[in-house]
Amino acid sequence: MKRVGKQTWVFDDGVYIQAAAAAVGPLEADGPLGRYFDVCHRDLYCGEKTWELAERRLMREAVDCCLQKAGVSAEEVDLFLAGDLLNQSATSNYVARELPIPFLCLFGACSTSMQTLAAAAALVAGGLADRALVATSSHNATAERQFRYPTELGVQKPKTATFTVTGAGAALVGRTPGRWRLRAATIGKVIDAGLKNPLDMGAAMAPAAADTIEQHFRDLGVSPGDYDLIVTGDLSRVGSVIVRELLAESGYDVTDVYNDCGLMIYRPDQKVFAGGSGCACSAVVTYGYLLQELARGTFRRLFVVATGALLSQTMVQQKQSIPAIAHGVVIEAAGQESDLPP
Amino acid sequence: MGLRTDYLREVKAFQPSPPYAANAVKAFLVGGALCALAQWLVDWYGGTFAASPLEAHLWASMVMAGLAIVLTAVGKYDDFSQFAGAGATMLITGLANAIASAAIEHRSEGWTAGVAGQMLKAGGAAVIYGLIAAYVLGLVWP
């Protein structure tokens, strides 16, 4: 493991995702990636009494399913890293309460999926853990309540608004060779472009995504063509166009290899405004769809850039602008590794 | 010129603007239809039940609010508001929806801290400024 350039960690001695799982709600299960998810709920309550308990159940199911796939018991995991969108990261803390694993709670808003994955990879590569479990979750109704309005309040939302994904993703990171190798991670800086509208987070986050992607290219001396897919977390219809434009202005044409998890998870006719968002958006698309397609050979190398709007309801009400962050992780199909410089 | 020179200005080209004209037409038609329905109720209570104008207005308001609460409880009012915009939110139906939706939302925290404590979270501003406006108007037109 070493640092290359300013912000990129390269894991050159073998850090792998050994198993991953995704649990989702009804709308996500009905979406184009529905068949890639391990647990699909028909009801937004997921059989629980409150939305918060439903989110907790989703994370627990993703964790259990991931450990089961890896054939590893919770006692054999050295570290658990998780985060979510609720105050005090309630979902993660309460799931960790049920697990006999030392726990680090991380908050990176919707960038938490790659934040936890990058941190876990570094800790495993550095020898501080043999196996590290990562998880993140979001729930449409808990996020609405936390950041916006009561779910049934009639408010006309603009086309730029995003729709929080209901789901949870978990992955087990370790040194035992698995199907997916973690090659590098680029840790992003907090970028605040000055936007203040919480119903247009794509435009607020796009500069942070562009900053991390460019930094990654510069640090490693790579170009968009070195990846089969560069995928952002939840920039949605608005932000994904902006990030392409920002990168084009810097001389990087990502058009052929770029996509956004927020656009992949729902069908165009599902009523989700500009697309999906939330911690679970990049988590379930990555741990469900992308990893399975890597294993199948559709892709060989991905750069997953999870984007987070570091939104605080209080700060927004005090007319402060929205800071944003993006963290990226390079995931390769194991056995294909290769020619990633340096 | 580009996003990197002045992001706040240049980004506007990428942000779809709300369909102001269509929204205004929808709000006018739906809001107008709701007001017409309420007026019909006022006339009906005044005619069929010989209610006084004040009583007829109160009954009509209660029926409209009740209708909004039922639609909120079955999860339809938010869809209706997404379509109708101000035509759904500016009337007493909007206030009823704001109060009912907050009450439903916070049922999970119990009847006191949840339902009662949070009920006016979304509609409280309308209640407070409504009272102030009514008081001021009462002074102007005694």
pLDDT category, A154, cuts 50, 70, 90? confident
Whether pLDDT at B93 is above 90: yes
Contacts of B105 in chain A (CB under 8 A): 145, 150-152
Q: What is the pLDDT of residue A341?
A: 55
Whether B10 is in a domain gets the answer no
C-alpha angle A166/A167/A168, rounded to 5°? 150
Token match 């590569």: residue? A125
Whether B100 is in a domain gets the answer yes
- Domain span including residue B57: 30-140
- Nearest in space to A116 (alpha carbons), one of A254, A252, A269, A287: A287
pLDDT, average across residues A51-78? 98
pLDDT category, B1, cuts 50, 70, 90? low
pLDDT, average across residues A79-96? 97
Whether B65 is in a domain gets the answer yes
Bridge partners (DSSP) of residue A127 are none
Whether B21 is in a domain gets the answer no
In this complex, the residue of A154, A245, A250 whose CB is nearest that of residue B78 is A154
Contacts of A241 in chain B (CB under 8 A): 14
Q: What is the ipTM of this complex?
A: 0.89
Whether pLDDT at A183 is above 60: yes
Q: How does pLDDT run across B7-60, given as a tens digit for each residue?
A: 999 999 999 988 999 999 999 999 999 999 999 999 999 999 999 999 999 999
pLDDT, average across residues B71-90? 93
Residue A84 buriedness (CB in 10 A; 0-12 / 13-18 / 19+): buried
Mean pLDDT of chain A: 95
Contact between chains at A153 and B98 (C-beta distance less than 8 A) = yes
Dihedrals phi, psi of A125, to nearest 5 degrees = -60, -35
Q: How does pLDDT run across A285-329, given as a tens digit for each residue?
A: 999 999 999 999 999 999 999 999 999 999 999 999 999 999 999
pLDDT, average across residues A193-213? 96
Q: Check CB contact of A241 with chain B, cutoff 8 Å.
A: yes
Q: What is the pLDDT of residue A338?
A: 61
Helices (H) and strands (E) in chain A, counts: 11, 14
Into how many domains does chain B fold?
1
What tokens were used for B75?
């999860």
Helix residue ranges, H only, A104-159: 112-125, 140-147
Q: How does pLDDT run across B103-122, given as a tens digit for each residue?
A: 999 999 999 999 999 999 98
Q: How does pLDDT run across A91-104, given as a tens digit for each residue?
A: 999 999 999 999 99
Cα dihedral A26, A30, A32, A34 sign: positive
Burial B84-98 (b: 16+ CB within 10 A, else e): bbbbbbebbbbbbbb
Contact between chains at A150 and B121 (C-beta distance less than 8 A) = yes
pLDDT, average across residues A64-91? 97
Whether B72 is in a domain gets the answer yes
Q: How does pLDDT run across A119-128, given as a tens digit for each residue?
A: 999 999 999 9
CA dist A139 → A53, A143, A166 (Å): 10, 6, 4
Whether pLDDT at A342 is above 70: no
Residue A38 CA to residue B100 CA, distance in Å, equals 36
Give all strands (DSSP E) within chain A, no chain letters: 2-4, 8-24, 39-40, 79-84, 103-105, 131-138, 163-164, 167-174, 180-186, 229-232, 258-260, 276-277, 301-309, 324-333
In this complex, the residue of A152, A242, A246 whose CB is nearest that of residue B72 is A152
| Cα A157 from chain centroid (whole Å) | 24
In chain B, positions 38-97, which contact chain A (CB-CB < 8 Å)? Answer: 72-73, 75, 77-78, 80-82, 84-86, 88-89, 94, 97
Q: Check CB contact of A205 with chain B, cutoff 8 Å.
A: no
Q: How does pLDDT run across A231-252, given as a tens digit for each residue?
A: 999 999 999 999 999 999 999 9
Q: How does pLDDT run across A5-31, given as a tens digit for each residue?
A: 999 999 988 999 999 999 999 999 999
Whether pLDDT at A213 is above 80: yes
Whether B15 is in a domain gets the answer no
Q: What is the pLDDT of residue B89?
A: 87
Residue B117 CA to residue B102 CA, distance in Å, equals 10
Whether B48 is in a domain gets the answer yes
In this complex, the residue of B8, B77, B121 whose CB is nearest that of residue A152 is B77
Contact between chains at A152 and B11 (C-beta distance less than 8 A) = no
Whether B76 is in a domain gets the answer yes
